[in-house]
């Protein structure tokens, strides 16, 4: 198979492991000599593979995301497994039959009060009880009694949710992206999540639960009797109304592109500060008096000063950075607060503080040592290089790591709910923050002069970004944000930091001038969706069989099955008929290609 372009995805029906899980025997016979004599040796070995427990590292992604809120009522849940052969390493039958392999894994979705309570039991206890039907697994070593997670499901409900034998091969496939390396195996469920309630999804084992040539063995009993299944993975999400979809949530962000500032007050002198992002705060003077001062954090409404104040050297105390504005009779405490914050953060990090102080001692000793060329004694040099750990901590601080949120956004009104606010990073504020951390051990004027002679090896490039406060941040934990310099989205900027500061607050910093911000979901948010129709049916717009072929139009409505399940085999046959393909050739890969939908992308332009 030739390499593919990065923007294409290939869907493969299945991938078999080199050796399926099970017991093997190898017999070797060798004949030696003129008078042939055969020597035979036999060895046995087992390929264990996953069976009753699935390591969490094998579950690469799930959709809808665990803990997410949104309108997922048109989406079939799926899970991506990092080992691309995993769904076919065992089988739902005791003996694998001819033809394409059947996966031994299935996704079951439960909603509302249907959701079973997982229980962890020894395998012998799970199989040796009469309260739920669970046939004892075959070929289990006598001394092996692993603990398994099981769920008990009503027989009638399970009959609705389980895939049929004909549907099983259509609900698992392998996804390949750029090149021939598989991205992973995908197992898809067949039930649409009901709207207005929470749902749970379980990846269950079907190993040995399908008798040869028959459907799943539901066991004896009536519709309310319980059937036990091994659950290998599970997650939960909530399905709300369509106003909670990713696109609707992102579109609710009001005043897109507005700067990070309070509205005008109507007072001319005050408005001049408010428009620059300042807020009035309480200020306690050293003498005990109380006043009101102006404060602005590192987020400025526009380009800030490009260089340091030439008259301002390293400060020895925060009060040196106070600025008094006689026109309004108020102090500006912004830089003083930044310096003090840096100093306090440095003192709080005992490892950094100790390393910085020791380095300054070595630096000072190296500066005092002058060895003449004719000096009779050889003196060992002093290593005065800035320690790597100190530099890493300061680099993190330059990204605002660890800076309390109150220093960044001093007034909640600066960042109302459901908003995105663009800003420039005030590098003068950042210099004072870093200088406060660097000031440890700076007592007298001589210490300040040494620090001035050895400035920190940090650059202060143009950095801009945005703050987002929205339910879209908390509802979509894997949210991706791209910054561009141009509105067309061509000049992609290098991210400095994109991180959640609170469950619903996202900080985005980029090197360069952000003109456009794109919010979109992770690549695994490629999902399998349908278009609902009145009367409990659905449809789907079909792609052409070839990549270059035009769309084949919309499928005739297909009725939903019991409990909101999609009749997968019937859907595949209807698609094949509409596209003029043979039903036998319309396999899991072809169905996935028709069902796949990409995640939404929402763009904001800075005003």
Residue 501 domain flag: no
Terminal CA-CA length for the chain? 47
Instruction: Domain of residue 219: give its range.
Output: 56-244
Residue 278 and residue 234 share a domain: no
Residues 327 and 189 both lie in one domain: no
Indicate the pTM of the whole model. Answer: 0.63
Domain finish residue from 217, 244, 271:
244
Exposure pattern of 97-120 as b/e (b: 16+ CB <10 Å)? eeeebbbbbbbbbbbeebbbeeee
**Other Cβ atoms within 10 Å of 302 Cβ, number:** 14
Is residue 420 one of the residues assigned to a domain? yes
Judgement on whether residues 177 and 234 belong to the same structural domain of the protein: yes
pLDDT (0 to 100) of residue 48: 77
Q: Are residues 125 and 154 in the same domain?
A: yes
Is 178 a member of any domain? yes
Whether residues 208 and 173 fall in one domain: yes
What is the rounded distance in angstroms from the CA atom of residue 570 to the CA atom of residue 558? 8
Same domain membership, residue 226 and residue 268:
no
335 and 240 share one domain:
no
Residue-level pLDDT at 525: 62
Domain end call among 402, 435, 461: 461
Do residue 76 and residue 163 come from a single domain?
A: yes
Number of domains within the chain: 2
491 lies in some domain: no
Q: Which residue has the tokens 């026109």?
A: 327
> Does some domain include residue 228?
yes
Task: Identify whether 279 is part of a domain.
Answer: yes
Helix (H, G, I), strand (E, B) or coil at 448: helix
Q: Is residue 565 part of a domain?
A: no
pLDDT at 521: 75
296 and 233 both lie in a single domain: no
Clarify whether residues 239 and 179 are in a common domain.
yes
Same domain for 276 and 235:
no
Last-in-domain residue among 431, 461, 491: 461
Q: Does any domain span residue 188? A: yes
Query: Could you say which residues of the chain have pLDDT below 70?
Result: 1-8, 34, 97, 141-143, 178-182, 241-245, 254-257, 304-312, 369-381, 477, 522-525, 607
Contacts 24+ apart (CB under 8 A), 339-342: 339/315, 339/432, 339/433, 339/435, 339/436, 339/439, 340/436, 341/403, 341/404, 341/407, 341/433, 341/436, 342/397, 342/432, 342/433, 342/434, 342/435, 342/436, 342/437, 342/438, 342/439
120 and 162, same domain (yes or no): yes
């Amino acid at each position: 198979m030739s390499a593919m372009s990065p923007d294409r995805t290939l869907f493969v029906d299945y991938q078999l492991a080199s050796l399926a899980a099970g017991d093997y025997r190898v017999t070797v016979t060798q004949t030696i000599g003129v008078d042939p004599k055969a020597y035979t040796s036999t060895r046995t070995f087992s390929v264990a593979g996953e069976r009753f427990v699935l390591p969490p590292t094998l579950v690469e992604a799930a959709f809808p995301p665990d803990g997410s809120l949104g309108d997922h009522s048109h989406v079939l849940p799926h899970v991506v497994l990092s080992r691309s052969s995993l769904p076919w390493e065992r089988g739902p039958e005791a003996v694998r039959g001819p033809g394409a392999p059947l996966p031994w894994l299935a996704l079951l979705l439960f909603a509302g009060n249907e959701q079973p309570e997982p229980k962890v039991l020894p395998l012998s206890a799970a199989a040796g009880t009469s309260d739920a039907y669970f046939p004892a697994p075959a070929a289990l070593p006598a001394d092996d009694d692993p603990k398994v997670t099981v769920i008990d499901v009503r027989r009638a409900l399970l009959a609705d949710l389980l895939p049929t034998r004909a549907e099983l091969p259509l609900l698992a496939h392998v996804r390949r992206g750029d090149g021939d390396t598989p991205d992973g195996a995908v197992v898809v469920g067949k039930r649409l999540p009901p709207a207005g309630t929470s749902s749970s999804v379980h990846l269950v084992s079907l190993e040995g639960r399908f008798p040869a040539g028959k459907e799943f063995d539901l066991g004896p009993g009536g519709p309310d009797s319980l059937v036990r299944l091994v659950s290998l993975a599970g997650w939960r999400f909530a399905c709300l109304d369509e106003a909670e979809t990713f696109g609707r949530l992102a579109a609710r962000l009001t005043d897109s592109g507005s700067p990070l500032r309070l509205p005008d007050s109507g007072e001319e002198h005050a408005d001049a500060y408010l428009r620059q992002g300042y807020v009035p705060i309480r200020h306690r003077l050293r003498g005990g008096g109380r006043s009101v001062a102006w404060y602005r954090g590192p987020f400025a409404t526009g380009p800030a000063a490009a260089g340091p104040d030439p008259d301002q050297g390293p400060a020895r105390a925060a009060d040196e950075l106070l600025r008094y504005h006689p026109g309004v009779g108020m102090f500006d405490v912004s830089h003083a607060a930044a310096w003090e914050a840096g100093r306090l953060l440095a003192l709080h990090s005992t490892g950094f503080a100790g390393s910085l102080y020791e380095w300054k001692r070595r630096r000072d000793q190296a500066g005092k040592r002058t060895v003449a060329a004719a000096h009779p004694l050889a003196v060992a040099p002093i290593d005065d290089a800035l320690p790597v750990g100190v530099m890493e901590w300061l680099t993190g601080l330059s990204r605002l790591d660890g800076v309390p949120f109150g220093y960044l956004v001093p007034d909640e009104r600066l960042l109302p709910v459901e908003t995105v606010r663009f800003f420039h990073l005030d590098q003068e504020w950042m210099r004072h923050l870093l200088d406060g951390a660097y000031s440890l051990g700076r007592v007298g004027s001589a210490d300040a002069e040494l620090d001035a002679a050895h400035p920190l090896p940090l650059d202060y490039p143009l950095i801009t970004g945005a703050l987002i406060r929205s339910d879209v941040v908390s509802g979509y934990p894997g949210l991706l944000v791209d910054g561009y310099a141009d509105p067309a989205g061509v000049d992609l900027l290098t991210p400095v930091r994109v991180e959640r500061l609170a469950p619903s607050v996202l900080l985005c910093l980029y090197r360069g001038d952000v003109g456009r911000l794109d919010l979109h979901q992770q690549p695994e948010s490629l999902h399998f969706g349908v278009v609902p129709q009145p009367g409990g049916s659905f449809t789907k717009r079909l792609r052409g069989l070839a990549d270059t072929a035009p769309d084949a139009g919309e499928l005739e409505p297909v009725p939903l099955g019991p409990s909101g399940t999609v009749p997968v085999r019937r859907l595949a046959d209807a698609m094949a008929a509409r596209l003029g393909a043979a039903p036998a050739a319309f396999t899991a890969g072809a169905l996935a290609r028709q069902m796949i939908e990409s995640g939404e992308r929402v763009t904001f332009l800075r005003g």
